[in-house]
């Protein structure tokens, strides 16, 4: 049996975002237990030239909702990048998951060869649907979720590999 575009996208996105939401819960609990202003963690970054935690979450959610919409041939929902708290970041994830849940398999399946064109560093870049999902969106999703995890772990939040992977 082959793997469909839907199976390779929507359930994966939902799972990864669910794990990210649980990681944010642990970060919020850590901040409360250690009497750390949560904004310190929300604005933390690994290096001065990297985006902070909040932006990592925003980019991860933007990437998957954009992918789902582009592959389905529907409008991409627009979210303002205004989140400054753990509850706001979690709400953004929940809103993204709600959108993903609204996209049907029959809208995405068959999109392997659909042309997707986006601006990457100021220039138009075109992909075929399958390559867009597998070589652009998925690596970007994992990069930004891993970076969010690393920012929090670096700042003392007790996280392990199973927090990243989630339960099975």
**Is 2 domain-assigned?**
no
**Is 1 domain-assigned?**
no
Supply the CATH number for residue 86's domain: 1.20.120.450
**Is 132 domain-assigned?**
yes
Local confidence pLDDT in tens for the 168 residues of the chain: 589 999 999 999 999 999 999 999 999 999 999 999 999 999 999 999 999 999 999 999 999 999 999 999 999 999 999 999 999 999 999 999 999 999 999 999 999 999 999 988 899 999 999 999 999 999 999 999 999 999 999 999 999 999 999 988
* DSSP string over 27-66: HHHHHHHTT--HHHHHT--SSTTS--HHHHHHHHHHHHHH
CB 39 within 8 A of CB 89: no
**Is 4 domain-assigned?**
no
Enclosing domain of residue 154:
10-165
**Is 115 domain-assigned?**
yes
**Is 88 domain-assigned?**
yes
Q: How many domains does the chain have?
A: 1
């Amino acid at each position: 049996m082959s793997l469909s575009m839907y199976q390779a996208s929507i359930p994966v996105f939902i799972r990864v975002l669910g794990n990210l939401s649980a990681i944010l819960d642990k970060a919020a609990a850590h901040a409360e237990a250690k009497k750390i202003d949560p904004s310190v963690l929300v604005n933390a970054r690994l290096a001065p030239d990297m985006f902070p935690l909040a932006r990592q979450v925003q980019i991860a959610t933007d990437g998957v909702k954009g992918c789902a919409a582009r592959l389905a041939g529907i409008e991409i929902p627009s979210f303002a990048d205004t989140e400054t708290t753990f509850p706001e970041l979690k709400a953004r994830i929940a809103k993204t998951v709600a959108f993903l849940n609204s996209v049907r398999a029959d809208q995405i399946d068959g999109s392997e060869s659909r042309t997707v064109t986006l601006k990457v560093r100021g220039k138009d870049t075109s992909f075929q649907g399958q390559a867009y999902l597998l070589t652009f969106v998925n690596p970007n999703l994992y990069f930004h979720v891993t970076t969010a995890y690393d920012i929090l772990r670096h700042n003392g939040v007790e996280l392990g590999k199973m927090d990243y992977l989630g339960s099975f």
